Amino acid sequence: MQIKHVEELVGITRKNIRFYEDQGLLRPRRADNGYREYHEEEITRLKQIKILRKLSIPIEDIKRVFDGEYSLDTCLDFHLEELERQKKSLEQIQEISRRLIDRHITLNMLETDECLEELERLEKEGVRFMNLNNTDTHRKKTAGALIGAFSMTVIMAAIIIFMLWAHLQDPLPIGLLVFIIAAPVIIIIGTMAALIGRIKEIKGGEEDEASKY
C-alpha cells in the first residue's frame, strides 16, 4: 500500500508518518523498486500511535512500549501519575488566579516580589508553572513563514513595477513584456501557495507536538 492510501485510511499526514519512521515507531519494508510498502501491520501500528498520542502519551514512552521496555499498563500508570501532577499544578494555578480575582487586584496593585516568592516556593514543592525558557514554536514558525513570503512578494512586485516603468521609458513588444512580467507573477502565486501549505503544516504538525517531550 502506498503512503497516500495510508494517509486516507488512518487519517495521519504523510509528514507525521515519516516523522514516526524517523523516531523508530514505524519500520515499513521496502519493495524491489526502493519505495516503502505499508501493510496491515503498519496500519495497525499507526492506529495504535494515533490512540496513544490522543491520550497525550509522549513519543519516547510510546517507543518504549513498542520496544517491549514498558507494558501498556505500566506506560499508562506512569502517564496517570504525570497527569495527576499536572492536575495538582493546574489546581494550584487556579487557586492563585481566583485569589487575585477575589481581591480585585489591578496590575499596579500586584505585589510582584511577594507573588514571585510564593510561586518560587510552590515550584520547589513540585508545582509546575509555564517554562519561561520555552517559546511559542507555532507562532515563531508562522512569523518566519510570513516574513519570508512577504519579502519574496515585495521583491517580485518591485521587479514588476520596474519592468513597467522601463516599458514606459522604452516600450517593449507586448509579448516580450508579458513574458518578462509573467515570471515574477508566477513566483508570487507559488509563494502564496507555499505559505498557505506551510501554515497548515505548522498548525497540525506532530513534529512540533513531539518536540515538547
DSSP 8-state symbol, 25: S
> Does residue 78 share a domain with residue 61?
no
Matching residue, cell 524517523:
22
Q: Which amino acid is at 79?
A: H
Asked, for residue 50, whether it belongs to a domain, the answer is: yes
What cell numbers appear for 100 in the block?
Answer: 487575585
Q: Residue 75 pLDDT > 80, yes or no?
A: yes
Q: Residue 127 pLDDT > 90, yes or no?
A: no
Angle, helices 72-102/112-124, rounded to nearest 10 degrees:
160
DSSP 8-state symbol, 30: E
Highest mean pLDDT among 151-160, 172-181, 196-205: 151-160
Which residue range forms the structural domain that includes residue 56? 3-66
Across the chain, the runs of DSSP E, i.e. the strands, are 29-30, 36-37
> Does residue 77 share a domain with residue 39?
no
CATH code assigned at 40: 1.10.1660.10
Contacts of 31 (CB under 8 A, 6+ apart): 37
pTM of the model: 0.58
What is the rounded end-to-end Cα distance, in angstroms, of the chain? 31
Asked, for residue 131, whether it belongs to a domain, the answer is: no
Asked, for residue 56, whether it belongs to a domain, the answer is: yes
- Distance (Å, whole) CA 198 – CA 192: 10
Instruction: Select from 8, 1, 4, 10 the least CA-distant residue to 45.
Output: 10
* Residue at which a domain ends, from 48, 66, 84: 66
> Does residue 156 share a domain with residue 95?
no
Give tens-digit pLDDT for 34-59. 788 899 999 999 999 999 999 989 99
> Does residue 205 share a domain with residue 143?
yes
**Contact 46/13 with Cβ under 8 angstroms?**
no
Asked, for residue 130, whether it belongs to a domain, the answer is: no
Total count of domains within the chain: 3
Asked, for residue 7, whether it belongs to a domain, the answer is: yes
Alpha carbon of 198 to those of 138, 147, 169, 203: distances in Å?
11, 12, 40, 9
- Distance (Å, whole) CA 77 – CA 62: 13
> Does residue 99 share a domain with residue 163?
no
**Contact 70/64 with Cβ under 8 angstroms?**
yes
Asked, for residue 129, whether it belongs to a domain, the answer is: no
Asked, for residue 193, whether it belongs to a domain, the answer is: yes
> Does residue 149 share a domain with residue 97?
no
> Does residue 145 share a domain with residue 118?
no
* Residue at which a domain ends, from 21, 50, 66: 66
> Does residue 170 share a domain with residue 119?
no
Q: Which amino acid is at 51?
A: I
- Distance (Å, whole) CA 136 – CA 139: 5
Asked, for residue 76, whether it belongs to a domain, the answer is: yes
pLDDT of residue 138: 65
> Does residue 58 share a domain with residue 79?
no
Give tens-digit pLDDT for 84-98. 998 999 999 999 999
